[in-house]
Amino acid sequence: MSDLDLNTLSKLDETTKSELNTFIQQETARAKVQTSVTQFTDMCFKKCITSVQDGNLNREEENCVSNCLNRFLDTNIKIVNLLQSLPK
């Protein structure tokens, strides 16, 4: 697939430009979410996993990771709900 240049983009009709813009916004949002999940997973791992001996988590580590990830999910849900309730 070749790169799009400004000349090519300027030749697109408005509907296609709008669809392309929407696609880019969605992919950017998806990338941001993926980055957040990766960073949060890394943070929870560093906080909760004290040693890797046999490839299994002990009960404390399991609980810590579960609580950490649940707080992340709860926080994200609240933020999304808040953002959706804001006037546009």
Is 70 domain-assigned? Answer: yes
Q: CB neighbours (10 Å) of residue 68?
A: 16
- 80 within a domain of the structure (yes/no): yes
Residue type, 76: N
Domain range for 34 is 13-84
Which pLDDT does position 9 carry in this prediction?
Answer: 77
Q: Is residue 77 part of a domain?
A: yes
43 lies in some domain = yes
What pTM value is reported for the model?
A: 0.60
Which tokens sit at 22? 């929407």
- CATH number for position 63: 1.10.287.810
Q: What is the pLDDT of residue 48?
A: 93
| Helix, strand or coil, per DSSP, at residue 55 | coil
3 is a domain residue: no
Q: Is the pLDDT of residue 2 over 60?
A: no
Note whether residue 1 is domain-resident. no
Number of domains in the chain: 1
36-69 pLDDT tens trace:
888 888 999 999 998 877 888 889 999 999 999 8
